[in-house]
């Protein structure tokens, strides 16, 4: 594939991720990671680094979107800062440490884990399963432990944590708007810690593209991020005009397909 077409693909990917984020309130990892894996393969990235580079670049690309989302929810007073305070240390630690685990795993193992997680999330979205509020929030230690798990899984699949944080908080009797706002607030430390961890773990790794900063590919990041931020408000406006429930189901099927495509890509490369 010509380099110009690859640059255009990064722009288009950023725009699609932004629209989906605004339209459905979902993170972009489920879309970005499989497509970046395929694009990096066409650029000659060695198989052993494909998934790591895709995960690291996706985590870095989530940073600007998470920042914009946090500021928006903060303006609406939907962030429970006392929850953020106790979740964040565990999230930072779990996300950062998980990048070291990811660096030790082979690309095919990471691809299988990613695909299994995304298929489970897609099935949950298709079935519209929502946890019933059955308990109160745990204390500082419990929230720290929850943050550790949320951050760890988020780093391994390059998501902002919303698909884990929101169900956890609603299960703990936090009202949905506050659960979403609080999830947006903890999405930023997830993205920051994850991106930093992938940069450190990929630093000096032979075989990476020249424009890579560790496991973060800067050209893809710089092309995707502004267009995702630009198109997110468009998606939010469309959410009031389109059948969101139907679109969520279509998106879930698409995520399953992309996850399976990623596995196919790394096993046939």
Cβ contacts of residue 173 below 8 Å, gap of 6+? 133, 135, 136, 137
Helices and strands, counts by H and E, the chain: 10, 2
Cβ–Cβ contacts within 10 Å for residue 201, how many? 19
pLDDT the model gives residue 129: 74
Using a 10 angstrom Cβ sphere, with 0-12 exposed, 13-18 middle and 19 or more buried, the burial of residue 61 is buried
Which DSSP category does 141 fall into?
A: H
pLDDT the model gives residue 58: 94
Per-residue pLDDT of the chain (269 residues; tens, 9 = 90+): 677 899 999 999 999 888 877 776 666 788 899 999 999 999 999 999 999 999 999 999 988 878 877 887 788 788 899 999 999 999 999 999 999 999 999 999 999 999 999 999 888 888 877 777 777 889 999 999 999 999 999 999 988 777 788 889 989 998 878 888 888 888 889 999 999 999 999 999 998 998 999 999 999 999 998 988 888 788 777 767 878 778 778 888 888 999 999 999 999 97
Which DSSP category does 213 fall into?
A: E
The alpha carbon of 187 is separated from its chain's Cα centroid by a whole number of angstroms, namely: 9
Residue 91 to residue 143: CA distance in whole angstroms: 10
Quick check: 232 and 184 in contact, CB under 8 A?
no
Using a 10 angstrom Cβ sphere, with 0-12 exposed, 13-18 middle and 19 or more buried, the burial of residue 266 is buried
Which DSSP category does 27 fall into?
A: -
């Amino acid at each position: 594939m010509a380099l110009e077409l690859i640059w255009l693909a990064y722009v288009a990917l950023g725009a699609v991720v932004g629209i989906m984020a605004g339209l459905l309130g979902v993170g972009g990892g489920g879309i970005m990671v499989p497509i970046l894996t395929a694009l990096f393969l066409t650029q000659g990235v060695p198989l052993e680094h494909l998934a790591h580079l895709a995960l690291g670049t996706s985590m870095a690309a989530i940073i600007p979107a998470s920042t914009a989302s946090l500021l928006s929810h903060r303006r609406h007073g939907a962030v429970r800062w006392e929850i953020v305070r106790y979740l964040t240390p565990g999230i930072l630690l779990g996300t950062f440490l998980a990048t070291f685990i990811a660096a030790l795993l082979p690309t095919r193992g990471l691809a299988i884990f990613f695909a299994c997680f995304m298929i489970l999330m897609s099935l949950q979205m298709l079935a519209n399963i929502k946890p019933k509020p059955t308990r109160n929030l745990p204390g500082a230690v419990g929230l720290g432990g929850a943050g550790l798990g949320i951050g760890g899984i988020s780093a391994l699949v390059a998501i902002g944590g919303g698909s884990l944080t929101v169900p956890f908080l609603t299960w703990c009797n936090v009202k949905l708007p506050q659960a979403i706002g609080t999830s947006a607030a903890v999405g930023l430390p997830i993205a920051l810690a994850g991106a930093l961890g992938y940069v450190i773990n990929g630093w000096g790794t032979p075989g990476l593209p020249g424009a890579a900063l560790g496991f973060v590919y800067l050209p893809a990041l710089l092309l995707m991020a502004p267009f995702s931020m630009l198109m997110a408000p468009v998606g939010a406006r469309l959410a009031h005009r389109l059948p969101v429930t139907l679109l969520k189901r279509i998106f879930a099927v698409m995520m399953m397909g992309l996850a399976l495509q990623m596995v196919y890509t790394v096993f046939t490369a």
